[in-house]
Every structure is written in C-alpha cells, then in structure tokens.
Structure 1
C-alpha cells in the first residue's frame, strides 16, 4: 500500500485520486469529508485561526458540483486537485450533519472576508490531550471495548472516543459518529459490517484537558480576520453568543422599569439578571452590584461620594502598579478635601508589589486603600489579602480593581478581604459595561446618592440615568460564556465559573511560560518583570528599537500589539520611556501555541 505524508496511507479512492490530508503544516487537522479542502489563510496571517473543517465557497472558487459529488474548479488557485468522489455512508452521514449544522447556524459557521472560506468548527484538538497507543492494525476488526487507561494517565476527565489513527503521535480528540459511540457502549444499531467501520482505528483512551482552545476559538467570529490578536489588555474579542444576546435584546420590545406591561418587566428582568451574573463572578450578593458604563466611571463616582466627607489631613493609599482608573479618582478626591496620597512602590526588578509596606503606609487617617488584583501592564498579581488586613486594622475601605484579573482567575470578594471590587465586562469579551460590587450591600445606603431620583435605594443610588438594556443582556451572556469554558464544569453558575476559570488559569500559565522563555532567549529583548503570581499580560523592550517601530514590524507580520511610551504608571517608575517605550501584549482565552510562536519569531527578526 503506498504511503503518503507522515506515513499515512494514500490508497486511491474510486475517483483515482489519493485521499487528501489538508493542512498548511505538519500538525494540522484531518478533514474527514469528501468535500473538505483546507488552505492557508491569506496574509497578514499564513495560518488558519483555528483547526476547522474548511469548505471552499463556490462563490469564491467557481465550484460546480457533479452528480456523484466531485467538482470541477474554474479557479487556478485550486490546481492542487479536486475532492474525490466517495460513496462512503460514514462520510455522507458526516457531511449531512455538518450541512445541517451550517444551516441552523449552531456550529458557529463563518465566512472569512480575507479568503472566502466557510468555516465549520469541529472538535479537533492537538494540544492538551494525551493518548495511549492505538489498537491493532486495520486488517483485523478492532475491539470496540475501550481499554483501561495506562498507569500514570492524567486524572482529569477522560473521554473514550473512536476516531482515525493519529498522525506523527499527535493527540487527537475526535467527535466520532453516533454509530461508533453506540458500538462502544454495546448498543444495537451499529453496522460494523460496513467496510469503513472495519478500517477505522480505535483510540484506547483519550485524556483531554478540560479547557479546549480549539473549541473556544470557534466561538469568536472576529478571529476570521487572520490576525494574531495579542491585544487582550485592551479587551478581548466578543464571542458570538454575546453579540447574539445584544442584537436579540435590541430587537425585542424593552421599555423603562416600573411598568406592569411585558416590555417594562423585561427591562427589570435584564437588570436583575445582570446583577446576579456579576455577583456570581465575584462571589457577592446581587443587592450590592452597581452597574454602569465602565469601571473607570463607577470608580470616579465612588471617589466623589466618599470624598465629600473627608477632612484636611486624611489620606488615601494607592499603588504604582494600578491602572490610572483606580488612581486618578482618589488623587482628585484627596486634593479637593486637602488630604494626601501615599503610593505603594513596586520592586523594579520583579515588578512585585511588596505587601509589607502597607503596614507602614496605612494610618488611622487613611480612608481608602486602592489596589489592583492584577496589572494589565506587566501581569503582576499582588497579595491583596495582606494589604486588606493592614487596612482593616485602621478601618480603611479596601477598593480592588479586578478588571484585569476577572478573565483569568477565580474571584472571591470575601477571600480577598475587599470592601468594593470593580470589574469591566469588556475585559473578558463582554460589552462595554462596568460594575462595582459591594461586599456589604448596606453600605450603599450610607453613601451620598448620585442618582437622578431622590428615592433611589440600594445600588440604584450609584447609578446615573437609564441602563443600556441590550448591553446588560450581553453581560449576562458573557458571564455564561466564562462559566462554559470548561466542559467538565457542573452545578450552579458560581461553581461552573470557579471550575472554568481554574482551567483557564492552568492553560494560560503554560502559554505564558512558553512566551516568556521564548522572548528571554533573544539577546536583544528584555522582558519587564518576573512576578511569581501573574496574569497572562506582558511587556518587553527591544534593544535599539523604539516601541512604535516594533509594533509596526509586528503588524506587518499579522500580530496585534500595543506600544506604551513609558511616561506614566508603572512604566514611568521603571524608566521605560528612556529606552524608547515598551511593547505590550496579552494572551486571551482563544490564544494558542502557534500564535505565541509567531510572536516570538516576529520579535526575533528585530535583532
């Protein structure tokens, strides 16, 4: 039998052409369908944004299907060959299922503007899986009883799956047809007499990671532009379900709250659902959730309300690690009252925020301790609990900006010791909506009201004007998206959030380690900071190259990144502006190892 690429059989099919294994690199997906043709995406990225089943659009290539399933192509770009005809019942079943998925839009089908590909994601994963050896050769019918996992197999949830033999020892999680699954369970209705059923190899046990980046990438239609999106510090791309929730709410009849008719009740239900979603995210009471346009706006309102009662000599404690949204409002409030501002400094070598200094910074006159849960600039996660304990000794209010931490680590307002937590939904792919979460909802009635209505109670006292109800519907959907990142997560939404974000944290830790090691091997690159606890955000400088020139170079190679001039925030303290600024990148839920490697290769060219 002739052998093809990577030792895979290329026995001829009825049309006389070998079965195509379609990819742009050695570790690509197997397109198991008679109409599958996968080609590299056009520039700026030469790689598909996700491992998917790519069907060439007839509008883009002029495909004319024949009666038997083959096609004639008028485009010279497809001169590599036509798809083979096949009468395989397995393939016909698979194609019918995929077409139904495409027709119902439940498979996140998308058309790329850059290459006119219709992408129907399927569950094919090469990263994060471990498989034992394959079964016997196709000459003898394989046993359909899954064997026990070998000694030392991962303890994570396992899925027993039947699929094609793996390529080059690559791990493969394949959604096999239902008749194969029935056969594995010993059910009737499985036609194992079919020739295709005999030749399909059986994976003994597939131990998969709970976080499946290939499945996550299929949820983001924006990834079809072909760019490597490492711009997560500015906000992640929007999942399809969030965009659908917003557009559905825009089309639905929604009125103002307070009425007894359905449109008004729908508005109240959306606001209530948004409060409960944010409360589940941080482990708080929905009665203490204040909603607004952004966390920066809400923090300014909070500072204005608290600052009205301050006196000369009072002070606030902020940190050099914080985003300006959690520094500037407190500086202005202290200036108006005649108070002072104290800064917690960072370690210039590791960018850590030492917790011991809060024992000295917090005094009996301290009113607020503002600290970040994670830096979106250098990724450091400070010890919030230690700072909160120092503040509690003097009854100071602890305000934590968790916008950069919420997409990557499980949050618990009580465990952090925070009194108020600020989050931004756009950080994890939600709409531009912010929230302040009060651990004690009764505190809201003690603050000066900023609402337009004098009788406002609870969180409405900190909310100005009517809500953007469609955006709040998107907030609910975005939190549900976070809770669904780990398919093994079960139980109430709060429990699913903790499980999913824990899996995200573990996955991102591996990617960040690869990125850090790759950049540090380059002599002309200096990675800023080396904190032990961090989120997947990073900054680095390139010797002899300004940050603006570096990101222009990256953009030419399809990589999205930001340049920081180093004139404010933590970069100003580190003196980054003196060397031409820093390049900022951040990983997202949909970032994979290929994109990390592409960034490292692009930066290496600057040396």
Structure 2
C-alpha cells in the first residue's frame, strides 16, 4: 500500500520551514509524537525506578516500554535489549566486554566498508589483547564486500561488519557472512545503524550475534540500542559497580537511565508502526507493513533521483542491493555544492562521514556529497535537489 506522504509530513514541525532535508543518514527530523513523549515523561512525576510511588512506576514503565518496543523492532527478546548513549559507545563497551576472553594470537575481522565506529573499537581492543586484525576488502567493481577476502580461521573470535554502509548504502550479504563466521566458531557483531533506518530488522534471520542501531536515524532521539540473545549476554561479565544490577540486560547499562529518551525512542517505534499499519495486528506486524511500504516509497524516489542526475555527477553508490543513499563526487567542488544547495534551502552535506576506511579504499581524496532519503522525503524535495545541482553544474 502507498503511504500518504503529505499526512506523514504533517507530523514534522521542522518541515514547516520549507527545507528539503537529505541529511537523514546523519540523523532524521523528529515527529511531534516523539517530542511529546519526551516532554510528557520529563514533566510527569518521575523518580528512580521502583514500584512504590507513581513517580517510581513511571520510570519503571518507561524502561519496560522501551525494551518491549525494541524487542518488536529487532525481533529479539526484551531481555536482550540494551540501551546506550550511542551506537559508538555501545560498540566500545562491548569490544571491552568481549576482549576479556581474547588471547594473544586470536584474530578479529573488520571491514573496509564500515563506519569507523565499527572498526576502531575492535582494532584498539585487539591491540590491547595481543590479537591480530584481519580485513575484508571492498570490491570496487560492485561497491560491495569482496567475500573472497574474508579471512576466517580457527583463530577467529569475532567478525564486525555493517548491514548497510552509511555512505554508499551498500547492503552486504550479512546472512552469508554470518553462516561462514559461525562455521569458524566466531561471533558476528553487526552495525545496523544505517540499515535499521530503511529495512525491517530481524536479528535472528540476519544471523547477527549482536546488532546495534541508533533511534535518531529513524525519527527518534539521540541514543543507541543493542539487541542480542539474552543467553549470549549472560556469558559476558562487564566491569560494573558492586551494588548495580547483575541481571541481563541491566548489567550493561551504567548509571541511571535517561527515562525521557527511552520514552521518545519507544514513541519512534510506535510512529513507524503507524505509518502504514495495514490490517493492524501486533506491533511487529504493523512494523512489517509500514517498513515494506516505506521501502517502496524510498526506492521510487531513489529511482527518480538517479534518473535526474546530470553527467557531471559521479555516483559511487552502485551496489545491486543498497539503501536510498547516494555518495557523489562533483570534481572537487563538493563543499561549494553543499553551500549552493543550502542557499536553496536544501540540506545535503559534504564530507567523509566517519567512513574513513571506505574513502581510503576507494581513493576518494576529496569530500563527497551524500544524499539520503528519509520517510518524509517527497518528489518535490527530490526535484528541488536536482534543480539545485543542475544550476550549480
């Protein structure tokens, strides 16, 4: 079913200013229900978690609601949902938790397709443990991972890959990599920050042992979420305060949780589930319907954008399976293009976007222009971008 884009856009106060936002890969605009949930939680009676007073129960309910929402979004048990300040923070935390069991000579595999947040924490943890870092390369012909370079062995302890590149949009074959990783006796850590903004997540189907995402990439507040099987989390012993909870997932959440952010993150999932709920049913079923419809909407707009680009634009995003995100070069004039578009009230940033290894592997010496579509993007936005680029060229 086609989504009602005009009705959807009416929920976003920031769109009333007339700006066309193509910076969704860095963080989306916020719908009013998410902001209202944050404000309502902060202004209601609120204390630390407990069951005695209404203020304690409000905090408890915010946590329970958050875990239930992300269990539905990721298709994991609620006991396997861990909150973090950001995906980067969670990955650093879990690199330390996992590295406690690494020994000298163990091998850790990282990818040149990834955001640095899923590269550097593992390299640094490996260096401290005396483990060896191996690499999966990019095949520049298909702009996807070269699985012939996947360096697995009996010494491999962990493979870290992205489910979707934050700059190229490439969606590598995660399930195939998961099967190979598990056959080698290793764990798979998946950065799903960009993927979760465009596709229905199913952590078991992907074969991910750990899956991390960021609600602010899909209409929520700034925080991070990790999903995993509770049984796997039980095997990890993080450094923690003596009186803090030792239950899973609480043992991985340090300090008092930001209840208002949890409420906002929950509201984001509910908003997504309501975009095109279809025949209704469970929240997971509504999410499935809505994200399938959003996928079709974004694919149609991506096709419109790609067909309208002029010959002066070099598009690096060309994997067969990818998100509606394009990385483009304009002959070294990318920063100028960003400024020109901003004058037209079109936001399309230029940079390398923490994709350090991607830029090095593809020998991209200049910043590139990144254009990302979001649920609220419409055809008029795309046409304004194309007109701006045409006038710039």
Q: Same fold (TM over 0.5)?
A: yes
Contact 2:135 2:149 in 1 (8 A): no
Deviation of 1:476 after TM superposition, in Å, equals 0.8
1:490 corresponds to 2:280: yes
Which has more helix, going by share of residues? 2
Partner of residue 541, structure 1 = 329
Larger radius of gyration: 1
Deviation of 1:299 after TM superposition, in Å, equals 0.9
Partner of residue 344, structure 2 = 557
Partner of residue 379, structure 2 = 593
Of structures 1 and 2, the one with the larger relative CO (CA 8 A, separation 6+) is 2
1:409 to 190, 195, 199: 199
Contact 2:277 2:287 in 1 (8 A): no
Deviation of 1:210 after TM superposition, in Å, equals 3.2
Contact 1:217 1:223 in 2 (8 A): yes
Contact 1:405 1:535 in 2 (8 A): yes
The TM-score, its normalising length taken from structure 1, stands at 0.63
Partner of residue 133, structure 2 = 341
Contact 1:351 1:530 in 2 (8 A): yes
1:374 corresponds to 2:164: yes
Q: Give the whole-Å Cα distance in 1 for the aligned partners of 2:175 and 2:16.
A: 41
Deviation of 1:259 after TM superposition, in Å, equals 4.4
Q: Give the whole-Å Cα distance in 2 for the aligned partners of 1:565 and 1:385.
A: 27
2:89 to 297, 315, 320: 297
Partner of residue 317, structure 2 = 529
| Cα-to-partner distance string for 1:253-297 (whole Å, 9 max, x where unaligned) | 111113421211211111011011111001110011111111110
Partner of residue 252, structure 1 = 44
Give ranges in structure 1 of 5+ residues lacking alignment. Answer: 1-208
Partner of residue 504, structure 1 = 294
Deviation of 1:507 after TM superposition, in Å, equals 1.0
Partner of residue 390, structure 1 = 180
2:362 to 570, 574, 579: 574
SS of residue matched to 2:195: coil
Partner of residue 435, structure 1 = 225
Deviation of 1:512 after TM superposition, in Å, equals 0.6
Partner of residue 460, structure 1 = 250
The TM-score, its normalising length taken from structure 2, stands at 0.96
Matches within 5 A, 1:60-139: none
Give ranges in structure 2 of 5+ residues lacking alignment. Answer: none
1:473 corresponds to 2:260: no
Contact 2:50 2:59 in 1 (8 A): no
Q: Give the whole-Å Cα distance in 1 for the aligned partners of 2:59 and 2:146.
A: 45
SS of residue matched to 2:322: coil
| Cα-to-partner distance string for 1:203-227 (whole Å, 9 max, x where unaligned) | xxxxxx4311111111101111211
Contact 1:451 1:465 in 2 (8 A): no
Partner of residue 268, structure 1 = 60
2:152 to 359, 362, 371: 362
1:426 corresponds to 2:216: yes
| Cα-to-partner distance string for 1:178-225 (whole Å, 9 max, x where unaligned) | xxxxxxxxxxxxxxxxxxxxxxxxxxxxxxx43111111111011112
Deviation of 1:487 after TM superposition, in Å, equals 4.2
Contact 1:526 1:542 in 2 (8 A): yes
1:327 corresponds to 2:113: no
Contact 1:355 1:383 in 2 (8 A): no
Partner of residue 231, structure 1 = 23
The structure-2 alpha-carbon separation of the partners of 1:405 and 1:472, relative to structure 1 and needing over 3 Å to count, comes to same
Deviation of 1:454 after TM superposition, in Å, equals 5.0
Partner of residue 115, structure 1 = none
Q: Give the whole-Å Cα distance in 1 for the aligned partners of 2:85 and 2:108.
A: 25
The structure-2 alpha-carbon separation of the partners of 1:560 and 1:348, relative to structure 1 and needing over 3 Å to count, comes to same
